[in-house]
Amino acid sequence: MALTEQELRTLDYEPDTGGHFGDYGGRYVSETLMAALNELDQSYRKLKNDQDFQCEFDADLASFVGRPSPLYHADRWSKAIGGAQIYFKREDLNHTGAHKVNNTIGQALLAKYSGKPRVIAETGAGQHGV
């Protein structure tokens, strides 16, 4: 069943305070993982605004990835389209060339700050470890 134009305009694309999207948003995982995911959630909420955590995260991104990625002003393209200033964020210059390392570094630091001695994770595309 397709949504009407009115229904599409009223959809809320932002999560609520519990992290849910819409009426049915949430976690769809095995019940055996819920305790670990709840612990992860608590650790993240505690650390996401922690100054030391953020400083180490930024330093690791700079060291291992090459962030912040430089911006390149596309001068000729900007002129060709009438003056809007177009910039490219040069993600292709990152050492790894992929967004996955951002998540990996964050998860490793989260584990470190949470006192976890090891991380077990999938390696395939789209397979995020728990």
| Tokens (6 digits) for 28 | 């769809």
In 10 A of CB 112, how many CB atoms?
Answer: 13
Residue 94 has pLDDT above 90, yes or no: no
Is residue 128 within 8 Å of 122, Cβ to Cβ? yes
Average pLDDT over residues 100-125: 85
The C-alpha atoms of residue 109 and residue 45 are separated, in whole angstroms, by: 14
Share of the chain above pLDDT 70, in %: 82
The C-alpha atoms of residue 34 and residue 27 are separated, in whole angstroms, by: 9
Question: What is the pTM (predicted TM-score) of this model?
Answer: 0.67
As a whole number, the mean pLDDT across the chain is 83
Q: Which residue has the higher pLDDT, 98 or 90?
A: 90
